[in-house]
């Protein structure tokens, strides 16, 4: 991939994605959270270009769209959100694997190959500051954990592809994946003011409760911690 402009002559860029529906998940909370965070980040970080997208949960088109986003945006940081029925808070993923589960996607299709990238490394490591992210989330009373298993479905596929894309660009880039509870979609989403979204560090957060207010507050922390770890372009 080529650089569209010299790094020092453009504003830093952030890519934020969630997923559309897939079998068993009629409404994907990650798309809602990613869209909210994109809009919120544009207001809170006016010196950044923020690109948001909902990726189709499809083996072919989902990864094609991700690569297109990388080529057009060339982000300094890429944050990808997905849902899991096995988590009750933020699961900050550390590793992506060059392996696909033989499961149908939203179109009913199976993966074209058991490997994402033929001959690619068996495992890629996130370049997000995951320890700092979990630390900052927990400091705010928000449930969070490090995870070493992103599954082998589209979440892992997008994670692997994004880290691989990040390794190919000529600027320091951070990419990673965060799972949120799939049950979040069952709760009503109410847009809150900035003060409410930032959330108190006591009350529901401290009790380990994970609702939309907690999700929004946590998403802000994840983004801010990732941005803080970016190198100074000057």
CB atoms within 10 A of CB 203: 12
**Bridge partners, 18 (sequence order):** 54
Identify whether the C-beta of residue 143 lies closer than 8 Å to the C-beta of residue 88.
yes
93 noted as active-site residue: yes
Cα 158 from Cα 116, distance rounded (Å): 9
Identify whether the C-beta of residue 23 lies closer than 8 Å to the C-beta of residue 64.
no
Kind of pairing between the strands at 90-93 and 13-19: unpaired
Cα 65 from Cα 73, distance rounded (Å): 12
116, 124, 165, 179: the catalytic one is 179
Cα 136 from Cα 139, distance rounded (Å): 5
80, 93, 165, 205: the catalytic one is 93
179 noted as active-site residue: yes
99 noted as active-site residue: no
Question: Which residue's entry shows tokens 């199976």?
Answer: 110
Q: Where are the alpha helices (DSSP H) in the chain?
A: 29-44, 59-73, 130-139, 154-166, 194-198, 212-228
Residue count of the chain: 234
155, 161, 165, 205: the catalytic one is 155
Active-site amino acid positions: 93, 155, 179
């Amino acid at each position: 991939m080529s650089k569209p402009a010299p790094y020092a002559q453009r504003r830093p860029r952030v890519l934020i994605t969630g997923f559309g529906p897939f079998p068993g998940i009629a409404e994907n909370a990650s798309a809602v959270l990613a869209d909210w965070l994109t809009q919120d980040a544009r207001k809170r970080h006016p010196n950044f270009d923020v690109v948001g997208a909902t990726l189709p949960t499809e083996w072919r088109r989902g990864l094609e769209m991700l690569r297109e986003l990388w080529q057009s945006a060339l982000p300094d940081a890429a944050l990808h959100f997905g849902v899991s029925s096995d988590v009750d808070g933020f699961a900050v993923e550390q590793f992506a694997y060059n392996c696909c589960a033989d499961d149908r996607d939203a179109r009913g299709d199976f993966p074209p190959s058991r490997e994402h990238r033929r001959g690619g490394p068996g495992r890629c490591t996130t370049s997000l500051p995951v320890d700092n992210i979990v630390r900052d989330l927990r400091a705010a009373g928000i449930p969070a954990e490090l995870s070493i298993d992103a599954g082998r479905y589209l979440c892992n596929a997008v994670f692997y592809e994004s880290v691989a894309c990040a390794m190919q660009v000529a600027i320091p880039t951070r990419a990673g994946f965060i799972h949120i509870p799939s049950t979040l979609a069952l709760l009503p989403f109410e847009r809150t003011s900035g003060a409410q979204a930032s959330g108190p560090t006591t009350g529901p957060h401290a009790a380990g409760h994970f609702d939309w207010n907690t999700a929004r507050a946590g998403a802000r922390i994840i983004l801010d911690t990732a941005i803080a770890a970016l190198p100074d372009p000057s």
